[in-house]
């Protein structure tokens, strides 16, 4: 049936149309908007109206103004830290999941993914009431006698953003690592064992290298999601946690400087594309070597 | 306050459309207003008293009013409501008609600060009256009565090192420049010179070092207040914000600073394409009554121009919001301030 069906489908008079639609949709809904967006980054704004004359001014401003590059750098450092912490925390969890048998494995995995079903804003609100100076965390630490008075270490600063983003994004790190670990054939581990390797040796020389593609995609997922987030820094960052996303957001809201905002977005998009390519490449070369 | 209006007007817009459809053929008064400015019971009373039918369309943003009025060159509505900062734009574009104040007996009974319209900046041009003030609210200071003693009288308390890390400010460059300019004693906070701008910027960097966080919505400020040690809030949402905090048991009070509080003021305006100007004036006069003024404040929490409310005492100095010299520049400087370590 399927053998007969395939050629008949491709020779149908509709097939060129279907093919056209398959190409047209991504072009219309992805490529064209991106192109418009890119072209905006070469416009400028005067007295609240957009001037449609091409200029490199926005990019020059990004590189020369003392405000943007330092914030950009700090934001990248922040997001790399978030990705690193997420990986460190997610790896043991994912590893533990793969050691479970049958139904338990997926039940626990589902439980870990449940937070993704919750509204993102509600989670930030919840985290914020946990972190406040009179929040749950400080109250608990003081009540347990660990702190003598509430600490402002995690109140409206970069640390708070780091912690919140890690909490929000950790499911995105667990999943790819879990999938990579699960794909490792058990026979390889048994072979390693048979050849006299200790469990630690097996982990370091078989499991870990084979799971690195998962780690790479987890890291790039988390990094990219953290980089694009402006709401978390806005809501828990206070006055010292100023990030690139917040600058970007302000260009579209209060400033009404879409062209400059577009240029800043292009800078961010280039970084994101770079991160994804890096994660992809790293993941694939490792995967291919097996 | 605008967000709430937007939200409510989504619901109300449906009702407005329904009303319009049902009475489209009769020569009704066509009103375009924020939600809460033309409630159904007032409309009913107005029709009963004057025999004039009313079609109300509710709007959710300043841009929407502009789009509707400019889009029809003022032909689609007889009377509408805009704030003082927006009104000059309509006058310039020749979309509005001067109002004969003698036709509005109730205007003589309004609160003293609104009686002489030449003193209300933004509602007149070349000696002609274009807007009749109707609803307002000040942007004052909320203070925690347990922590701030004596009661503050000026926004300068926000810079007091005694409250370091206990101040909530609002995340908006435009307003922050204006109120800081007032605090520094500048006469026109909406048109700052280069030197004034630099001085305000330096002052705002100092403010930032005293601030716990910059908030954007009233809910957000309330949540931070409940979970942290907050003494002072720059109250962008005015009375609504105070009442919401008091409702959850916070010990807070509200004060308009002595150097002048920024305040928004919405006005009734008659469009260029008004069909029956006398009817439009009857409507404006009708909603300026003590009964409606009181109900307006009771229902929305905003101040009205007829009866005294918590928004402002009779001695409080209010500075009506106006267009600023360069919003883009203020916004860029605000980002620089936020990025300053």
The strand pair at B96-97 and B261-271 is best described as: antiparallel
Whether B334 sits inside 8 A of A250 (CB atoms) is yes
With residue B139 as reference, give the H or E element that holds it: strand B131-139
Residue A98 included in any domain: yes
Residue A252 included in any domain: yes
Whether A255 sits inside 8 A of B332 (CB atoms) is yes
The torsion region of residue A100 among left (phi > 0), alpha (psi -120 to 50) and beta comes to beta
Residue A200: pLDDT band by 50, 70, 90 thresholds? very high
Pick from B159, B106, B108, B101: nearest CA to B131: B101
What range does the domain containing A194 cover?
A: 43-114+171-288
- Asked if B25 has any chain A CB less than 8 Å from its own CB, the reply is no
Q: What is the pLDDT of residue B218?
A: 87
Does B141-255 match B2-136+264-311 at the fold level?
A: yes
User: Rounded distance, CA B32 to CA A136, Å?
Assistant: 47
Of chain B, the end-to-end C-alpha distance in Å amounts to 32
- Residue ranges covered by each domain of chain B: 2-136+264-311, 141-255
CATH code assigned at A233: 1.10.3720.10
Q: Per-residue pLDDT tens for B192-219?
A: 999 999 999 999 999 999 999 999 888 8
Number of domains in chain A: 1
CA B172 to chain centre: 16
Question: What is the rounded average pLDDT of the residues B42-58?
Answer: 95
Those residues whose C-beta lies under 8 Å from the C-beta of residue B276, and which sit 6 or more positions away, are B27, B29, B78
Residue B26: pLDDT band by 50, 70, 90 thresholds? low
CATH 1.10.760.10 fits B2-136+264-311, yes or no: no
Is the model's pLDDT at A288 over the cut of 80?
no
Q: What is the pLDDT of residue A4?
A: 45
Residue A32 included in any domain: no
| CATH tag, B141-255 | 3.40.190.10
Q: What is the pLDDT of residue B241?
A: 92
Residue A240 included in any domain: yes
Report the share of chain B in percent with pLDDT over 90: 74
Q: What is the pLDDT of residue A19?
A: 87
Is the model's pLDDT at B322 over the cut of 70?
yes
- Asked if A57 has any chain B CB less than 8 Å from its own CB, the reply is no
pLDDT, chain B, mean: 90
Q: What is the pLDDT of residue A289?
A: 43
Q: Per-residue pLDDT tens for B257-315?
A: 999 999 999 999 999 999 999 999 999 999 999 999 999 999 888 999 999 988 888 88
User: Rounded distance, CA A82 to CA A162, Å?
Assistant: 6
**ipTM exceeds 0.85:** no
Q: Per-residue pLDDT tens for A204-241?
A: 999 999 999 999 999 999 999 999 899 999 889 988 88
Burial class (CB in 10 A: 0-12, 13-18, 19+), B146: exposed
Q: What is the pLDDT of residue A5?
A: 44
Query: What predicted TM-score, i.e. pTM, was given to this entire model?
Result: 0.80
**Contact status, residue A50 vs residue A258, Cβ threshold 8 Å:** yes
**Chain A residues close to B231, C-beta within 8 Å:** none
Residue A135: pLDDT band by 50, 70, 90 thresholds? confident
Pick from B150, B8, B13: nearest CA to B68: B13
Whether B212 sits inside 8 A of A239 (CB atoms) is yes
**Chain A residues close to B327, C-beta within 8 Å:** 48, 254-256
**Chain A residues close to B226, C-beta within 8 Å:** 129, 132, 134
Residue A153 included in any domain: no
- Asked if B229 has any chain A CB less than 8 Å from its own CB, the reply is yes
């Amino acid at each position: 049936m399927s053998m007969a069906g395939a050629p008949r489908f491709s020779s149908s008079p509709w097939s060129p149309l279907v093919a056209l639609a398959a190409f047209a949709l991504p072009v219309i809904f992805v490529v064209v908007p991106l192109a418009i967006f890119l072209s905006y980054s070469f416009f400028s704004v005067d007295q609240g109206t957009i001037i449609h004359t091409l200029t490199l001014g926005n990019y020059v401003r990004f590189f020369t103004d003392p405000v943007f590059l330092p914030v950009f750098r700090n934001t990248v450092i922040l997001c790399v830290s978030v990705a690193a912490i997420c990986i460190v925390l997610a790896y043991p969890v994912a590893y533990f999941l793969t050691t479970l048998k049958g139904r338990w494995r997926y039940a626990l995995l589902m439980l870990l993914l449940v937070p993704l079903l919750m509204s993102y804003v509600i989670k930030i609100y919840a985290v914020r009431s946990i972190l406040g100076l009179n929040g749950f965390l400080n109250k608990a630490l003081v009540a347990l006698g660990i702190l003598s008075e509430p600490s402002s270490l995690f109140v409206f600063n970069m640390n708070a953003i780091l912690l919140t983003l890690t909490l929000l994004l950790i499911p995105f790190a667990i999943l790819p690592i879990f999938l990579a670990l699960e794909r490792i054939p058990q026979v390889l581990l048994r072979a390693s064992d048979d050849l006299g390797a200790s469990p630690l040796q097996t982990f370091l020389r078989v499991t870990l290298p084979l799971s690195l593609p998962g780690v790479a995609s987890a890291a790039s997922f988390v990094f990219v999601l953290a980089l694009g987030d402006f709401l978390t820094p806005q809501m828990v960052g206070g006055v010292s946690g100023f990030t690139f996303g917040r600058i970007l957001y302000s260009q579209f809201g209060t400033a009404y400087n879409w062209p400059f905002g577009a240029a800043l977005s292009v800078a961010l998009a280039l970084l994101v594309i770079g991160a994804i390519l890096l994660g992809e490449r790293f993941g694939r070369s490792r995967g291919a070597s097996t | 306050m605008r967000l709430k209006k937007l939200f409510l007007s989504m619901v109300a817009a449906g009702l407005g459309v329904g009303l319009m459809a049902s009475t489209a053929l009769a020569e009704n008064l066509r009103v375009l207003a924020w939600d809460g400015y033309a409630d159904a019971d007032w409309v009913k009373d107005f029709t009963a008293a004057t025999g004039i039918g009313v079609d109300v369309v509710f709007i959710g943003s300043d841009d929407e009013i502009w789009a509707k009025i400019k889009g029809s060159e003022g032909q689609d509505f007889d009377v509408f409501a805009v704030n003082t900062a927006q009104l000059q734009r309509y006058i310039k574009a020749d979309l509005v008609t001067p109002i004969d104040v003698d036709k509005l007996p109730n205007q003589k009974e309004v609160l003293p600060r609104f009686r002489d319209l030449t003193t209300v900046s933004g509602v007149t041009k070349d000696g002609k009256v274009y807007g009749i003030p109707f609803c307002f609210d000040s942007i004052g200071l909320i203070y925690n009565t347990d922590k701030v003693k004596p009661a503050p009288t000026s926004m300068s308390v926000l810079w007091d090192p005694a409250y370091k890390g206990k101040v909530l400010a609002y995340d908006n460059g435009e307003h922050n420049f204006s109120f800081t300019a007032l605090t520094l004693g500048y006469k026109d906070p909406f048109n700052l010179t280069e030197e004034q701008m630099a001085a305000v910027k330096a002052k705002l960097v100092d403010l930032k070092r005293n601030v716990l966080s910059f908030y954007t919505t009233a809910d957000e400020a309330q949540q931070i207040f409940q979970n942290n040690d907050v003494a002072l809030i720059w109250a962008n949402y005015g009375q609504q914000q105070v009442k919401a905090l008091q409702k959850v048991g916070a010990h807070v009070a509200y004060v308009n600073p002595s150097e002048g509080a920024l305040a928004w003021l919405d006005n009734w305006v008659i469009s260029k394409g008004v069909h029956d100007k006398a009817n439009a004036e009857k409507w404006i006069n009708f909603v300026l009554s003590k009964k409606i003024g009181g109900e307006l404040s009771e229902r929305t929490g905003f101040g009205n121009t007829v009866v005294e409310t918590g928004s402002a005492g009779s001695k409080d100095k209010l500075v009506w919001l106006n267009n600023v010299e360069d919003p883009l520049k203020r916004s860029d400087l605000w980002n620089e301030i936020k990025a300053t370590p």
